[in-house]
């Protein structure tokens, strides 16, 4: 999936998303922007995947099999990943979900459907916050 890499901010993105078609689209967009993208679809092992891939930015869906995005975010923030930029994606745009994510320490919260440009812009913004 790196065939289309173009100059862009160097960095790794871990995409935790169980819907294969949206994972394909997001990965394609990010790779063309120069990102190295890893995908993971299982909520239960998502934190292990973060440890394994050591991404600069995590893109995290809320509704995942095994463990919700909220639980994963909580696990990251209570572990070794307190500063890791996490962009949360959800189709549940209710205020309580956003508030819950912010209370758990999310870096950015986007609701589906989103534009590709907004997604890219958000990840670029977050990458500048990533601890190096």
Partner 1 sequence: MARPVPTGSRIRERRMTLGMRQAHLARAAEISPSYLNLIEHNRRAIGGGLLTRIAEALETDRATLSEDGDPALVESLRAAGAAQGMAVEYLDQAEEMARRRPEWARLIVTQAEAMAAQARTIEALSDRLTHDPTLADAMHELLSTVSVVRSTAAILAQTPDIDRNWLGRFHTNLDADSRRLAEGAEAIVSHFDREGTRGADRLLPSEAVARFLEGATAPLAQLEAEGVAAIPELVAGLDPDARALASDILQSDAADAARLPSPVVMAADGPDALIEAAGGDLALVLRRLGLLDPGRGLVICDAAGAILRRKAVAGFPLPVMGAGCPLWPVYGALTQPGHPIVALIETPDGAVWRAHAIASPTSQASFATPPVLRATMLLSRADDASARPAPVGPGCRVCPREACAARREPSVLSLAQGSRSRPA
Question: Which of 26, 37, 49, 88 touches partner 1 (CB under 8 A)?
Answer: 26
DSSP string, 32-66: HTT-EEEEE--STTHHHHHHHH--SEEEEESS-SS
Please tell me whether residue 35 binds partner 1 under the rule CB under 8 A. Answer: no
Q: How many CB atoms lie within 10 A of CB 17?
A: 22
H/E stretch holding 88: strand 86-90
Residue 93 vs residues 60, 84, 113: alpha-carbon distances, Å: 15, 23, 10
Span 2-21, contacts to partner 1 by CB under 8 A: 3-4, 19, 21
**Tokens encoding 128:** 């500048």
Span 65-124, contacts to partner 1 by CB under 8 A: 91-93, 95-96, 98-99, 102, 109, 111-116, 119
Please tell me whether residue 52 binds partner 1 under the rule CB under 8 A. Answer: no
Please tell me whether residue 29 binds partner 1 under the rule CB under 8 A. Answer: yes
Residues that bind partner 1 (CB under 8 A): 3-4, 19, 21-22, 24-26, 28-29, 32, 63, 91-93, 95-96, 98-99, 102, 109, 111-116, 119
């Amino acid at each position: 999936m790196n065939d289309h890499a173009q100059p862009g901010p160097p960095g790794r993105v871990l995409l935790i998303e169980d819907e294969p078609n949206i994972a394909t689209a997001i990965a394609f967009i990010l790779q063309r922007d120069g990102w190295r993208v890893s995908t993971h679809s299982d909520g239960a092992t998502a934190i292990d995947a973060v440890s394994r891939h050591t991404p600069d930015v995590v893109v995290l869906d809320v509704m995942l099999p095994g463990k919700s995005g909220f639980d994963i975010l909580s696990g990251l923030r209570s572990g070794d990943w307190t500063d890791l930029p996490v962009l949360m994606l959800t189709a549940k745009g209710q205020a309580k979900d956003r508030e819950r994510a912010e209370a758990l320490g999310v870096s950015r919260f986007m609701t589906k459907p989103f534009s590709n440009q907004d997604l890219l812009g958000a990840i670029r913004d977050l990458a500048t916050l990533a601890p190096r």
